[in-house]
Amino acid sequence: MSNKFKGTGVALVTPFTEQGSVDFKGLGRLVEHLIKGGVDYLVVQGTTGESPTLTPEEKRSVVDFVVEVNNGRRPVVLGHGGNNTHQILRGFGHFDFTGIDAILSVSPAYNKPTQEGIYQHFKAIAEASPVPVILYNVPPRTGSNMTSETTLRLAHNVKNVVAIKEASGDLAQIGRIIRDRPAQFMVISGDDALVVPHMALGGDGIISVVGNALPGRFSKLVNYALEGNFQGAREVHYNLMDVITLLFAEGNPGGVKAALKILGICGDDVRLPLVKVSAETYNKLDKVIKSL
């Protein structure tokens, strides 16, 4: 388990048709694109997958499809979190986890629980989950930060908690977690722009958005860092800086879906309240991606 989620994970987009339904042909092309690009594992139904806008039936269909197309070639992580702990726990009883290697569970948004509340939330999830749990801390989206103390308390005391996706952007907090974690606990970056300093501190890789579009290049960056070749990692990072900036200029996943359309993988349709990126950003992305 300690190596299963080391390296490059990708938070898959959910492609849609122009009519608004799930584009399974595009999703199949995306999975093959990622595996061919050398990513280490797939993350389904996270923020990048627009999971809040999918019906329960669509979520199930998307997960089943990815598991089928993947056919055991890469580990699969399922996004399963929220701000209603009991609803998350009930979800375990209505879901077949065949082909799922772990869940990625985001810290509760909107409620703004105390650190004790966050700890008890994840403790309950980990005790009920039939697969290992990867914590997800992303304060810009949730409105509250899970401190290093809370993360380390979970890492040391709750056996089924195996990793954290850290997207706080706080390298001091990330460094404290890496320094004081148990030996097998993984600290995964949730920020494409910070993966090099994150891994220089001893982090274990990334769950990437940019990797949807450029899996080969991003995997190369991460592999360089895992090998301790930070000169090589920096060179790839500098080469990707402009595209990373553009992909997030008008939010996620609008930017990366635009890139995937440019690459011919799937369309750039999103579901409200999200909208496509502007023509100006699209044209800039087109130019930068083609220059790569």
Using CA atoms, how far apart are residues 82 and 88, in angstroms rounded to an integer?
7
Bridge partners of 134?
104, 163
CA quadruple 189, 192, 196, 197: dihedral positive or negative? Answer: negative
Q: Which residues are catalytic?
A: 136, 165
Q: Measuring CA to CA, how many Å separate 126 from each of 122, 152, 155, 172?
A: 6, 15, 11, 26
Count of all residues that appear for the chain in the document: 292
Give the chain's largest Cα–Cα span.
50
Using CA atoms, how far apart are residues 75 and 66, in angstroms rounded to an integer?
11
